[in-house]
């Protein structure tokens, strides 16, 4: 399904920044805006100044365009990425990810901790063959590349290799016909991306010939500067010296033909049924006079220029000289924006996990609204711990007495609400509108003649699920406030990165005693949610539904195990049992403390080459609740959640530095707390003393529903 927000596709090349802003229309993709920002010089000619030139181009782009309420997808230079294609044996689909992971380890010539990688599966409907494309880039390269955007306030949701973006553009707009194989030549300044497209499969390789090679040929032939040669090349078609210019570049033309022929020979040797019928050229370098004709004569294949996007509504922009002059270079930006709209064939992304994770809650805005702010700490930004005042959630949810949801007049209207939720409205209105539609449909369900008892029970259970979406933000808020309450007072007043850095300079990291959320996992169970948290021997099974919750936290405290019991778990327990919320926290378990850069834990376990966690400060584990601490035992991974070991691996993949202060984080500790939020009123015997007076109840009741309206 296409995205509703407009998407900017931004491609930074050697000569310029190209950007297209697209939105999905009823029939075509609509062009809302475009921009081309030329660099003062070709970046490869002065690599030392390239970062400054890119920064200037991005700032110029931002100053000239409205980037609000938009998504961003950016390109990664093809020459910085590694691409490998491999065939998989016929296996069950569920086994493919493990096989690809193994194959990636064999194909990528770097330690897997040093790269960001992804893959794409290519299949044909009438063939059992499965082909996989593996794409990788060194972590330091992608971080440096993306920092140029994030430093200017642009947060990409996807980072795609330039060749794959070109492929997405052509695959969507003008794909090869059935039974045809087509070569796409996207010519850049440094290299040319050669992509063979056949059916749903793809094969690509970089050709080390780009526009600069033609310019260098002119420099050598006419003994002029690179800048003058570049100007001469760009205006070759209109000068009286066109013949001499073509003769000077002829050896490079011949080299290009040789590279294309070599690629065709290799591809047809492994794909004997291939029938390559045409070559499609794109990129401004492909506009060189004589190049198209030279390739066609020597390859004996039809060679065309991509001079128009058939499925793109340019909204009159094609009439402007700037758009027309750069049409052939907009292919990458077009493909990037298509992927952001959800219309691309290749959906892989080289966005590092730490950046992708910081955006995950933004993707969940339709259901969680302002509650996403409660989890901003998951990105490691501790200064945000006080950015949301206790009343913010009340305000976002409409106060402690939210209005009843409006119900649509009929089933058709209710279905329209479910299928096309309102856009650009406040979080409360969004949630209550959907809730009203669900309640209306539930009422209609109750009127239907009885069917199978099991089917009726299942449908009614589904109809009740939207009710949970009003409770989840309140649960998240309680977790957030518990972490905030146990942080040192000096940290609670810090509300900006600069203030936090100033505080960090005067206070050693291991003495600050700060704690924040690293990851939160929640899963709803209609009955006995505690059973989803792993081993609970001796615990009485409960028929009450609720959420199984895992919180992975991070702290600068050197030995936090006992402190967690006495402070954080106590705060979660106390705040989570406030009466009249419609839920309460119970069944607490602490699953240990592990140093961030601990040695990798072997599957063999202690005594067989693994780590003995008793030497890592592994804390108490077992049910707490109202029964006290349990026994020592290792944690078992919880299905569909990230374990502490996986969190360590993710952090070890970075450079070991704090994202805000630049401090070494290898002394930090990770810990895990598991508990249950039961969906019912807090039993009177469990209510802490602080909530048993009228003065206390409701005094700190951010987001709690009034009694009788749960």
Nearest to 215, CA basis, from 11, 35, 41, 17: 41
Q: Are residues 320 and 223 in the same domain?
A: no
pLDDT at 541: 66
pTM of the complete model: 0.54
Domain end residue (candidates: 305, 332, 365): 305
The share of the chain scoring above pLDDT 70, in percent, equals 75
Within a domain: residue 389?
Answer: no
Predicted confidence band of residue 48 (pLDDT cuts 50, 70, 90)? low
pLDDT digits (tens, 9 = 90+) for 542-594: 667 888 999 999 899 888 888 888 899 999 999 999 888 889 998 887 766 77
Q: Are residues 553 and 610 in the same domain?
A: yes
β-sheet with 71-76: strand ranges across: 158-161, 71-76, 7-12, 16-24, 29-38, 312-313
Tell me what the mean pLDDT of segment 517-540 comes to: 75
Answer with the residue of higher pLDDT: 535 or 548: 548
Answer with the residue of higher pLDDT: 369 or 247: 247
Asked which of 49-53, 102-106, 660-664 is least confident by mean pLDDT, the reply is 660-664
Q: Are residues 453 and 310 in the same domain?
A: no
pLDDT of residue 27 exceeding 80: no
Q: Are residues 533 and 453 in the same domain?
A: no
Q: Are residues 457 and 481 in the same domain?
A: no
pLDDT of residue 485 exceeding 60: yes
pLDDT at 708: 32
Q: Are residues 145 and 241 in the same domain?
A: no
Q: Positive or negative, the Cα torsion across 97, 102, 103, 107? A: positive
* Cβ–Cβ < 8 Å for 319, 311: no
Nearest to 309, CA basis, from 286, 328, 287, 337: 328
pLDDT at 111: 87
Q: 372-398 burial, b for 16+ CB within 10 Å, e for fewer?
A: bbbbbbbbbbbbbbeebeeebbbebbe
Q: Are residues 510 and 371 in the same domain?
A: yes
Asked which of 138-142, 217-221, 364-368, 490-494 is least confident by mean pLDDT, the reply is 364-368
Within a domain: residue 451?
Answer: yes
Q: Which domain holds residue 182?
A: 175-305
Q: Are residues 375 and 256 in the same domain?
A: no
pLDDT digits (tens, 9 = 90+) for 376-427: 333 333 333 333 333 444 444 444 455 556 678 787 788 777 777 787 776 6
pLDDT at 135: 94
pLDDT digits (tens, 9 = 90+) for 643-693: 555 555 555 444 567 778 888 888 888 888 999 999 888 888 888 887 876
Q: Are residues 70 and 198 in the same domain?
A: no
Nearest to 341, CA basis, from 370, 373, 312, 307: 312
Within a domain: residue 706?
Answer: no
> And the tokens for 490?
């000096």
d(CA 368, CA 356): 18
Q: Are residues 152 and 25 in the same domain?
A: yes
Burial of 465 (0-12, 13-18, 19+ CB in 10 A): exposed
pLDDT at 445: 67
Average pLDDT along the chain: 77
Beta carbons within 8 Å of 200's beta carbon, 6+ residues apart: 122, 123, 124, 125, 345
Q: Are residues 43 and 136 in the same domain?
A: yes
Within a domain: residue 599?
Answer: yes
Within a domain: residue 36?
Answer: yes
Tell me what the mean pLDDT of segment 65-73 comes to: 91
Within a domain: residue 364?
Answer: yes
The segment with the largest mean pLDDT, out of 353-362, 420-429, 434-443, 582-591, is 582-591
Beta carbons within 10 angstroms of residue 439's beta carbon: 20
Q: Are residues 670 and 624 in the same domain?
A: yes
Helix, strand or coil, per DSSP, at residue 206 = strand
Q: What is the CATH number of the domain that holds 346?
A: 3.30.420.380
pLDDT digits (tens, 9 = 90+) for 229-278: 888 888 887 778 888 888 899 999 999 999 999 999 998 888 888 888 89
Within a domain: residue 701?
Answer: no
Predicted confidence band of residue 95 (pLDDT cuts 50, 70, 90)? confident
Within a domain: residue 709?
Answer: no
Total domains in the chain come to: 4
Which stretch of DSSP H or E encloses residue 550? strand 546-555
Tell me what the mean pLDDT of segment 297-314 comes to: 89
């Amino acid at each position: 399904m296409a995205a509703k927000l407009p998407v900017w596709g931004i491609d930074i090349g050697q000569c310029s920044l190209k950007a297209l802003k697209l939105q999905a229309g009823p029939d075509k993709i609509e062009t809302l805006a475009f921009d081309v920002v030329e660099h003062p010089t070709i970046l490869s000619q002065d690599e030392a100044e390239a970062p400054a030139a890119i920064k200037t181009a991005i700032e110029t782009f931002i100053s000239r365009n409205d980037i609000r309420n938009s998504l961003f997808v950016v390109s990664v230079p093809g020459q910085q990425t590694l691409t490998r294609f491999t065939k998989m044996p016929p296996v069950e689909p569920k086994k493919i990810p493990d096989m690809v992971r193994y194959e990636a380890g064999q194909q990528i010539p770097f330690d897997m901790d040093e790269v960001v990688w992804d893959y794409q599966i290519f299949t044909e409907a009438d063939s059992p063959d499965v082909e996989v494309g593996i794409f990788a880039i060194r972590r330091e390269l992608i971080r440096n590349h993306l920092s140029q955007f994030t430093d200017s306030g642009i947060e990409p949701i996807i980072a795609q290799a330039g060749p794959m973006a070109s492929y997405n553009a052509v695959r969507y707009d003008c794909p090869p016909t059935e039974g045809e194989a087509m070569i796409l030549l996207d010519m850049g300044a440094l290299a040319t991306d050669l992509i063979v497209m056949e059916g749903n499969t793809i094969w690509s390789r970089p050709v080390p010939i780009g526009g600069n090679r033609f310019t260098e040929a002119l420099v050598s032939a006419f003994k002029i500067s690179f800048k003058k040669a570049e100007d001469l090349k760009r205006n070759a078609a209109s000068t009286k010296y066109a013949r001499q210019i073509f003769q000077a570049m002829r050896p490079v033309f011949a080299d290009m033909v040789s590279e294309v022929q070599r690629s065709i020979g290799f591809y047809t040797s492994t794909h004997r049924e291939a029938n390559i019928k045409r070559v499609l050229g794109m990129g401004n370098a492909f506009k060189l006079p004589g190049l198209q004709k030279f390739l066609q004569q020597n390859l004996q294949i039809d060679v065309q220029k991509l001079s128009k996007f058939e499925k793109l509504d340019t909204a009159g922009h094609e009439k402007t000289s700037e758009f027309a002059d750069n049409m052939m270079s907009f292919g990458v930006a077009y493909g990037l924006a298509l992927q952001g709209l959800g219309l691309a064939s290749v959906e892989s992304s080289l966005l590092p996990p730490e950046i992708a994770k910081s955006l995950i809650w933004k993707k969940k805005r339709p259901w969680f609204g302002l509650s996403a702010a409660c989890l901003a700490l998951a990105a490691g930004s501790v200064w945000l711990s006080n950015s949301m005042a206790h009343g913010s959630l009340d305000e976002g949810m409409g106060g402690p007495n939210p209005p009843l949801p409006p119900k649509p007049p009929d089933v058709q209207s209710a279905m329209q609400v479910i299928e096309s939720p309102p856009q650009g409205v406040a979080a409360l209105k969004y949630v209550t509108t959907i809730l009203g539609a669900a309640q209306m449909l539930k009422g209609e369900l109750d009127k239907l003649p009885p069917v199978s008892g099991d089917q009726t029970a299942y449908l009614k259970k589904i109809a009740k699920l939207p009710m949970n979406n009003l409770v989840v933000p309140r649960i998240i808020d309680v977790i957030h406030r518990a972490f905030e309450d146990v942080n040192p007072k000096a940290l609670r007043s810090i509300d900006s990165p600069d203030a936090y850095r100033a505080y960090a300079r005067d206070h050693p990291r291991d003495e600050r005693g700060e704690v924040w959320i690293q990851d939160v996992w929640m899963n709803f169970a209609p009955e006995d949610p505690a059973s989803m948290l792993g081993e609970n021997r001796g615990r009485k099974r409960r028929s009450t539904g609720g959420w199984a919750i895992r919180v992975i936290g991070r702290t600068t405290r050197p030995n936090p195990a006992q402190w967690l019991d006495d402070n954080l778990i106590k705060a979660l327990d106390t705040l989570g049992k406030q009466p009249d919320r419609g839920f309460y926290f119970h069944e607490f378990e602490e699953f240990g403390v592990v140093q961030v850069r601990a040695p990798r834990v072997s599957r063999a376990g202690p005594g067989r080459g693994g780590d003995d966690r008793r030497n890592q400060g592994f804390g108490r584990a077992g049910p707490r609740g109202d029964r006290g601490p349990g026994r020592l035992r290792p944690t078992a991974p919880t299905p569909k959640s990230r374990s502490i070991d996986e969190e360590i691996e993710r952090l070890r993949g970075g450079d070991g530095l704090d994202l805000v202060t630049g401090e070494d984080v290898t002394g930090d500790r990770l810990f895990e707390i598991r508990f249950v939020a039961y969906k019912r009123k807090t039993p009177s015997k469990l209510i802490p003393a602080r909530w048993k007076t009228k003065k206390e109840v409701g005094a700190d009741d951010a987001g709690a529903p009034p009694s009788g309206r749960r």
